[in-house]
Structure 1
Amino acid sequence: MARDNALDSPARRGRAQPKQSRDRFGRFTEWIARAMGTPTFLALLTLFCVAWIAWNSLMPAGVRFDEVSNGFTALTLVLSLQASYAAPLILLAQNRQDDRDRVQIEQDRQRAERNLADTEYLAREVVALRMAMTDLVEQSLSRDVLRQELRTLLAELDDRAALEPGERPATDGGAAKKESR
């Protein structure tokens, strides 16, 4: 028992088909435009025209289908028809390429904006790190100065403790005086 709406088969929607056929036609126009812009195409078209002219000039009159006396009217018609179809197909291919280029330019612009924002963010972070490092160095220097001061004070306290109980160390560069009670 096969069901059309089974879970293992894709859902069918009528809207997907026109887009696919438009895309297929667009790819076809691009293929034509690429093919017509090649030296191979020009060589084949030249060979076609030479063969046409040679057939209608050199073959017996009963097998000719385009008379020289009429100026190869059928050849002119075929080449005009080819040109009248080639021009719009090439334009369609160019329009598709323009659309792709427009999308690519928009994506490049968005990527450039993101890169700029990232660069600005990183620049701010670098400045913040520099400031933090400067503060850290200043704090380190002030810590070193503070440590040195504390060491000096500790040394003075050690000197005081080493003195006799009644003596006081000189702070003004003079001799130590005895404390009077």
Structure 2
Amino acid sequence: MGVEERESAKERARAAAVSGERARVRLDMPRAPTRRLLPEYDPEAFGRLSERIARFLGTGRFLVWMTVTIIVWVTWNVSAPPPLRFDEYPFIFLTLALSLQASYAAPLILLAQNRQDDRDRVNLEQDRKQNERSIADTEYLAREIAALRLGLGEVATRDWIRSEFEALIKELEERRGGDEPLGRRHRE
């Protein structure tokens, strides 16, 4: 593409942009960054944060601090001088704060449970694959042991050789006429 052709393509793109038409998308050029209305976030970082919060909400420390906060809140709003009270007897603001805390705690706990379920699913899949490998190894070893047993069935043992020698000695003694046992002559 020559210089004139490039300039012509640029002018056509400018004219299309001015007239409101969309310019032809070029695949050899990177897209211009677009602005987003919503902020971007890292789902993993948010998931880790939700797990930390869910773990804290499930501890005795959280229950103690929550109990202390409610006792101080109620005590202050009952016994403080009237101008310093910020939440009178029905404790509407306390109820609202506890409802807000519960409305955020429940989804965070569910998110943490879903992440834990995903981790458990991956661990179960890895365990299943490891079990399959172990079963295959065990079956291979069982076949090898069976082959060794079959092979050993054909190997001469000491007792079998001894019994064969004794049978040969008897046969030789019977052929000689039974004068003297062959075993005694060789021992002396």
TM bucket, shorter chain: 0.5 to 0.7
1:32 alignment partner AA:
I
TM-score by length of 1: 0.65
Q: Could you tell me how far 1:137 is from its partner in structure 2? A: 2.5
Does structure 1 residue 136 correspond to structure 2 residue 155?
yes
Aligned to 1:46: 67
Q: Distance in 1 between matches of 2:164 and 2:59?
A: 81
Q: Distance in 2 between matches of 1:87 and 1:104?
A: 25
Does structure 1 residue 21 correspond to structure 2 residue 11?
no
2:131 alignment partner AA:
A
Aligned to 1:104: 123
TM-score by length of 2: 0.62
Does structure 1 residue 93 correspond to structure 2 residue 140?
no
Q: Could you tell me how far 1:87 is from its partner in structure 2? A: 0.3
Choose from 71, 87, 91 the match for 1:72.
91
Q: Distance in 2 between matches of 1:42 and 1:49?
A: 11
Aligned to 1:6: none
Q: Distance in 1 between matches of 2:113 and 2:129?
A: 24
Choose from 141, 149, 170 the match for 1:122.
141
Aligned to 1:81: 100
Unmatched tracts of structure 2, length 5 or more: 1-39, 178-188
Q: Could you tell me how far 1:22 is from its partner in structure 2? A: 1.5
Higher alpha-carbon Rg = 1
Q: Could you tell me how far 1:50 is from its partner in structure 2? A: 0.7
Aligned to 1:13: none
1:129 alignment partner AA:
L
Q: Could you tell me how far 1:33 is from its partner in structure 2? A: 1.1
Aligned to 2:21: none
Once the two structures are superposed, residues 43-92 of structure 1 have per-residue CA deviations (whole angstroms, 9 ceiling, x without a partner) of 10011011111111111121111111xx1100000000000000000000
Choose from 26, 30, 35 the match for 2:51.
30
How many residue pairs are counted as aligned between the two chains?
Answer: 136
Identity of aligned residues (%): 52
Q: Helix, strand or coil for the counterpart of 1:66?
A: coil
Q: Distance in 2 between matches of 1:76 and 1:52?
A: 11
Q: Could you tell me how far 1:128 is from its partner in structure 2? A: 0.4
Q: Helix, strand or coil for the counterpart of 1:136?
A: coil
